[in-house]
Structure 1
Amino acid sequence: MIKEKYIKNEREITINVVQTEIKSVRKKDITKTGLRIYDNGYIGIAGAVGKVDEAVLEKRAIENLKLQIPYPYEPSSNHVEKVDYREETFSDEELVKEVEELLRILRSEFPDFIFSNNISIQEMDTRLFNDKGLDLAHKDRIIIVELVIKEKSSINVFDAFAVFADREYSREKTLEIIRETLTAYKNQVKLPTEGKLPVVFMADDQLPLKKVIEELNGYKVGTGASLFKDTMGEKKFNEGFTLYQSAEKEDITGYEFFDAEGVVNKNHKYALIENGRIISPYTDKKTANQFSLPLTGSASAEYDKVPSLASRYFKVASSNKTLKELLNGKLAVAVLIASGGDFTAEGVFGTPVQLAFLTDGEKLIGKLPELTISGELYSMFGDDFIGRSEDKAFLGQKALAFNLDVKYI
């Protein structure tokens, strides 16, 4: 019998902004504890929120072994690793004062716009340990500014947004993002031409990666339902395209460096596609065992649930060039809001773009009319793949660039 504890503490202060004023302040401090008992190929789990009596939890978990939930996999063992990525940031009181000052500046500089939504500090503290020598701990704290922007004269629900997320807050960087967005927003421009053009997404935008991630699901590959079922190990994409499942320190994602089964990848990342070659789907222990696939540490679980397969954070490897260098003198369409698009089952991509800007790779030039963009999976990540920028040239974010078909709506 093996005993394992999974403890997650989430602390958060969120300031709700309405009409460029602080509407409310909400605080959260929740600890969730799960206790797992492994015995004879079965798992018993019990969980609680807040203060817990471990003896009571253990008794319940042992009792739940009678449910005979199968878990015929060896629990993770003999790995001790602890990280603390937190940086100094505001106290709760200081955050409120900073938000008040930020909003005062926005009201003064942009009287024709309304700012709403949330500004928060989110802190996570997760630990997973058992009596087989496993002891993993991950701490992180992130300040997130997510402001929805509406032009006062507009009939739209919102017209733009601005996001700043980092472990250390910078008022100036936040204002730079908003100023660049709204300066370009007020400058109406046209496409250089319709047809195939460089198109830029924020590197954390999962829309262009959506189909690749779906098809890399280990269960989908194992059951033969994936487009990639017969191409494992084959080079199907651009030499410059590498896709990681990543929990590196630079990735501010809210994911721990270990998964819910205690699997830790070397250097906290795992290449699923490397230099265009499809290496592996993402898997948990069940999927890897069932289909004889590599184990990539892709298990997720609530504190009181059995771990199961789920996608984590995926990152395209840097092309080691600035966005301007990647564009090589060309102007590009920078996509900020694209809602209503998707990939077909065969991999054809299309989406309307409600808000896009023209960029030279260093700054936004002006606002474009509403557009449609389209492409095809193997082309997007093949000959039409431009790369991922090394610099944060798209409103404080790194950028992912493709050549896509662009048309006015």
Structure 2
Amino acid sequence: MPAGHVLLPSVTPITLSFPIIIELPMGNTGNDTIELSDGDDLILAGDGNDTVSGGNGDDRISGGTGNDTIDGGAGNDALEGAAGNDTIDGGDGNDLIVAGDGNDTVTGGTGDDRISGGAGNDEIDGGSGDDALEGAAGNDTIDGGDGNDLIVAGDGNDTATGGTGDDRISGGAGNDQIDGGSGDDAIEGAAGNDTIDGGDGNDLIVAGDGNDTVTGGTGNDRIGGGTGNDTIDGGDGDDRIDGGDGSDTIAGGNGNDLILAGTGSDDVSGGHGDDTIDGGSGDDVLAGDEGNDILSGGAGDDILTGSGGRDTFVFMAWSGDDVVTDFVLGGPEHDIVLVSHVVFQDLASLLAAAEQVGSDAVFHHAASDTSLTLANVDLGALKAEHFALF
């Protein structure tokens, strides 16, 4: 047997304080307790529900089969839970932890740790430091803790929290719940019906496939809904929101937001602030809410409501039959129709194509079969100040 290599039967407990290799015999099924202090140690615990403490030093510990409790202690440790429902604490240092199969509970402790949960429903806490955390298969709960963390939740219905720091989080397949926490985070929901909250900071959120619910939180966020019928709230800040494919419900929240509703029949409200809203394709309902907003229906038959403020409504070719519900004629905050020169070259040609239909003023562009209706507006009350060409 090589010097420094000790082959032990089932022992409870052992305390050693020098660099050593401990290997329990093949087939050992005892519930062992092993405690080490200083030194760079290798421990192969084998079968059984073992308790292993690495102590100081850069240790390598494998729990083997069984429900093991492993504490790496101080040092840059490499810890493997293997099969079983294990409890693993990396302690201080930059640790590598592979939990393996089973429903494991893993804490990285202080340091920049790399943790993989493996198969099973795992609970992973990165602790302080810039950690890389992988849930892998199973319905995992992952908390990045302090630091700029990378979290890959993997398959399953996972719950991931970035904590403090500028985190990168990917939910993977499954219906995930993701909270970026504080910091400027990059979050990807991927496949599944995900619930995502960016939290504080200027976040980048890509919801991915599925019918997702996204909240930007505070900060100037960029949000992409992806495919699916998504519900998106930009929250506070000057946000850029792209609904993507699907019939989405989008609220800009407070701030001067840019909202591109995308394809589908979308319901969009700008919230407080001077917002720019483009309905994209589909029959959309757009509301600017408070502020001086710009509303463009895009392709489809859209309903546009400016609400408070001096609002601008865009009239373009091939944009369907749009209706403005609350065009304001008088006062310092009167509304404006912004007309594409492709539709009409000048104000005279625009007014020549207008007619009064009941209580509404209707402008029709015959070449593109496009119309804009100003509901409850007397055509004779419109003046040059109500129009602008671009």
TM-score when scaled to structure 1?
0.18
Task: Determine which structure has the larger helix proportion and give its number.
Answer: 1
Task: Determine which structure has the larger strand proportion and give its number.
Answer: 1
Q: Which has the higher contact order (CA 8 A, sep 6+)?
A: 1
TM-score when scaled to structure 2?
0.18
Computing the radius of gyration over CA atoms, which structure comes out larger, 1 or 2?
Answer: 2
